[in-house]
Chain A
Amino acid sequence: MSPLQTPSQTVGPFFKPALIRSGNESLVTSNSRGERITIEGRILDGDAAGISDAMIELWQANADGRYDHPDDLQEKLIDPEFHGFGRAATDELGRFRFHTIKPGSATGPGNLLHAPHINVSIFARGLLKRLVTRIYFPGEQLNATDPVLNTVAPGRRSTLIARIENADQPGILRFDIVLQGENETVFFDV
């Protein structure tokens, strides 16, 4: 008989000493290829209060759109200075911040170019299993044809697109994650 999946359980409130190391919120070295960006935001609950005991993980392709993984068969360059994984906890106000690069477009079946995006996992007390969402980029032409964005109801797509709050600082992108209620972020069943 085949073994059956181990069920998920909440990360609980006391994970930080085990899982959070300073430096993991930066995905880049000084030699990583690509355009530097900072992603910052808050995680909010159904009362619009910041969640201070959440963990966020990012997983993304490099500047050429290639993932650092053997199952990515695209003929694109690996960047030895960029592995694509980051992890951070929220602070007492529910804020998080990552330093990374803007990913390139990955190629899907039929040579369709997917819009650049970052894959996000969210864990917290009260979440019995992780939530998954994606961060897309503003003003990106490929957003119009991205197969995943297009499965989302048009009225909710904006929750997946980061914002540039200050035109003088286009490298700082804002992405709030609303777990519940008005403007609830779109989450994916993967």
Chain B
Amino acid sequence: MNSPNGYRRESSGGHPPYDNPAYASTHKRAPRNAPVRLEHTLSEITGPRFAGDLPAPGEDDLTHFDGGEALGERIIVTGRVLDEDGRAIPHTVIEIWQANAAGRYAHAEDRHEAPLDPYFAGIGRVITDTQGAYRFMTVKPGAYPWRNHHNAWRPNHIHFSLFGPSFATRLITQMYFPGDPLLDLDPIFNSVPDRSARERLIAKFDIEVTIPEYALGYRFDFVIRGREATPTPG
């Protein structure tokens, strides 16, 4: 039986290492042994095509919840999911979560003394169209403190989870905002070794996406692994 081609590997310097001295939670969680390199088999080149059911209408609008409208600066985030060859990834679900405009998550474990917003749950889902494009509306998340080190603050960010076409392309990441003074101080953002790779996590403000009198627009593309040129050996 012929196997379809495997996927290209992580780019070196383009992803964080497991062990990161500046990010305290890695100390007891990063494995000590190097991961065992695995040639791609059917297990890695196949994968779930979406997590559960598809997004329902309204899951692309985080600004309305429980009959009310969230406080904060409304923003549109839009872009495409592509692979390393520039091919669009259609029909892939993107799961979204974030803090509210005050920097507080609607989560029982978040103890930050910032107000909860009863009209903001901070979760959403979208699916890419045939061109790999997605779009959603939310409010700009606030920065929030964490206990990693003295006076530690997370920069404004939105969390994303997506699958792509295979087990090998699974990605969870965070999107940041341009010009944020906290970026240079954030161990999680700076865990990505290459500066140019880190900067790929920063959205671009786009006046063309901006809706007059209503919401600022940002562009952010996701690039997942592309396929190897040669068939999977093992």
Residues on A close to B: CB < 8 A?
2-19, 21, 24, 45-47, 49, 51, 53, 57, 59, 61, 67-69, 71-74, 83-85, 87, 106-109, 111, 114, 117, 119, 121, 123-132, 134, 147-148, 151-152, 156, 179-181, 184-190
- Does B30 belong to the interface (CB within 8 Å)? yes
- Cα–Cα distance between A114 and B39 once the two chains are bound (Å): 13
The smallest C-beta distance from B106 to any residue of chain A, in angstroms, reads 7
Given contacts A5-B15, A73-B2, contact A127 B86 (CB under 8 A): no
In the assembled complex, which residues on chain A have CB atoms less than 8 Å from the CB atom of B39? 147
- Of all A-B residue pairs in the complex, the 5 with the closest CB atoms, nearest first, are A126-B25, A18-B97, A69-B46, A85-B48, A128-B16
- Cα–Cα distance between A57 and B123 once the two chains are bound (Å): 19
Which of B177-185, B205-213, B221-229 lies at the interface with chain A?
B221-229
Residue of B nearest to A23 (CB): B52
- Does B151 belong to the interface (CB within 8 Å)? no
In the assembled complex, which residues on chain A have CB atoms less than 8 Å from the CB atom of B17? 128
B48 lies within 8 A of A59 (CB): yes
Given contacts A73-B1, A73-B4, A125-B25, contact A18 B47 (CB under 8 A): no
In the assembled complex, which residues on chain A have CB atoms less than 8 Å from the CB atom of B2? 73
A4 lies within 8 A of B47 (CB): no
Residue with the greatest number of chain A CB neighbours at <10 A, chosen from B36, B44, B82, B224: B36
- Cα–Cα distance between A152 and B39 once the two chains are bound (Å): 12
* B contacts with A: majority SS: loop
- Count, chain B residues at interface, CB 8 A: 87
A152 lies within 8 A of B1 (CB): no
B47 lies within 8 A of A9 (CB): no
In the assembled complex, which residues on chain A have CB atoms less than 8 Å from the CB atom of B34? 189
A179 lies within 8 A of B1 (CB): no
- Does B230 belong to the interface (CB within 8 Å)? no
Residues on B close to A: CB < 8 A?
1-4, 9-11, 14-18, 20, 23, 25-49, 51-52, 82, 84-86, 95-97, 99, 105-107, 109-110, 121-124, 159, 161, 165-168, 170-174, 188-189, 191-192, 196-198, 200-201, 221-226, 232-234
Residue of B nearest to A74 (CB): B1
In the assembled complex, which residues on chain B have CB atoms less than 8 Å from the CB atom of A184? 31-33
Given contacts A148-B38, A187-B36, contact A9 B173 (CB under 8 A): yes
In the assembled complex, which residues on chain A have CB atoms less than 8 Å from the CB atom of B31? 131, 179-180, 184-185, 187
- Cα–Cα distance between A85 and B173 once the two chains are bound (Å): 20
Residue of A nearest to B121 (CB): A17
A14 lies within 8 A of B42 (CB): no
Contacts A19-B97, A111-B1 aside, 9 further interface pairs with beta carbons under 8 A come to A7-B201, A59-B47, A61-B43, A71-B45, A74-B42, A114-B43, A128-B188, A180-B32, A184-B31
B29 lies within 8 A of A51 (CB): yes
Contact of A6 among B38, B201, B232 (CB under 8 A): B201
